[in-house]
Structure 1
């Protein structure tokens, strides 16, 4: 594994341990809300699996859908950007996947689209690209802000992600 990239870290990464190595391959949780009437409340547990519960217009979507995909995309984008800014992810390394970042993540994702589109007749999976994009943008923006404002919690989260990735 390559070491941390040279150069100064962002002041937002001041709580990170400078002795940590870059990866090449908890406290108060943020709550997200967006123009698309989406809410997500993530948290982390000591469990190793990802646990997501999803809803569209207050109805469970047991098979997930685009809102869940958007949530995962937003989390992955925010965490990867934070890891790179803090020089914990080598410049040449690929981004960590949503699956790698999701280990131990527990979240409830709820959206209230005006005209929900569902896949199949059971309404168990939400469809629609607009929902995915809206949720991803909202989660990425708000999670990144939260990580910057809570460096001690960000360190605990990124340490867990890094150590979990190294075991893969």
Structure 2
């Protein structure tokens, strides 16, 4: 995207790309400039810290972190910034995402991570939550969100009518 990113999406591993792509797609559908990249809390902690600093300097306002297994990425980012951090636990282990969920949601006081659902539903909701945070100071974005929600409502009503008329 040509504009400076307002949202950063970090994934802990390239294997998380397909799950988190829906987050990027949702932000794109709302015309929110963002950056989508790999930044591991364990394998590349210096890169992760450097990206947080770099993106804050460019005006990034929300960080979204998707990670599986130990899932410390969101916590590592929250330790580095006071900007909102949203964690997306990813099912990447025999524990079916429970390890990622607990690692993401259990943060010490003063270092919050807003935690959404597992996998693709969580990735989409992370984008929606980031959009709502940004919409607090962007009336045009708030309008786009309301239009999107109206589309969801219209889709349910259409499906209900079709089902009832079968």
User: Under a length normalisation based on structure 1, what TM-score does the superposition of the two structures give?
Assistant: 0.30
Structure with greater contact order relative to length (CA < 8 Å, sep ≥ 6): 1
The structure richer in helix per residue is 2
User: Under a length normalisation based on structure 2, what TM-score does the superposition of the two structures give?
Assistant: 0.30
